[in-house]
Amino acid sequence: MKAGWRHRQRGATFLGILIIGGILAIGVYAGIRLVPLYIENFAVRRALMQAANQGDDSPAVIKRALEQRWVIEDIKSIDFSDVAITKDGAGTKIRANYRGEVPFIGNVSLVVDFDTIVKMGG
């Protein structure tokens, strides 16, 4: 009798399925909330690369190119004036170091730190 009872009990319970489904739903929701941050980070990276590929490595020209790309790409997480432009040996380095934050559930937010560096020249 006992062996038959064990044989019949298989699979997950309804409560187990609900718990697993809830955990998966929270993970999917977090992914949905994070996708716009990563899309904007790709836009920042693209803007930095296009500013680097324009040829002139003077900071004023790079800032002007970044300002135009920021308007075109509609970047909101970081201002173009917060991008660091430094001379690095024979070349120039353009760096966007910023934090993206989106609300998640209630008073909980998701925070992602981005650090994008593009080198020009040498």
Distance CA 63, CA 88 (A): 17
pTM: 0.80
CA angle 103, 36, 40 (to 5 degrees): 120
pLDDT digits (tens, 9 = 90+) for 13-65: 889 899 999 999 999 999 999 999 999 999 999 999 998 888 777 888 889 99
pLDDT confidence of residue 120: 84
| Cα–Cα–Cα angle for 93, 110, 67, rounded to 5 degrees | 35
d(CA 65, CA 72): 11
Q: Measure CA 7 to chain center.
A: 49
Q: What is the pLDDT of residue 81?
A: 86
**pLDDT tens-digit profile of 44-53?**
999 999 988 8
Name the phi and psi angles at 108, rounded to 5: -100, 130
pLDDT digits (tens, 9 = 90+) for 68-78: 999 998 998 89
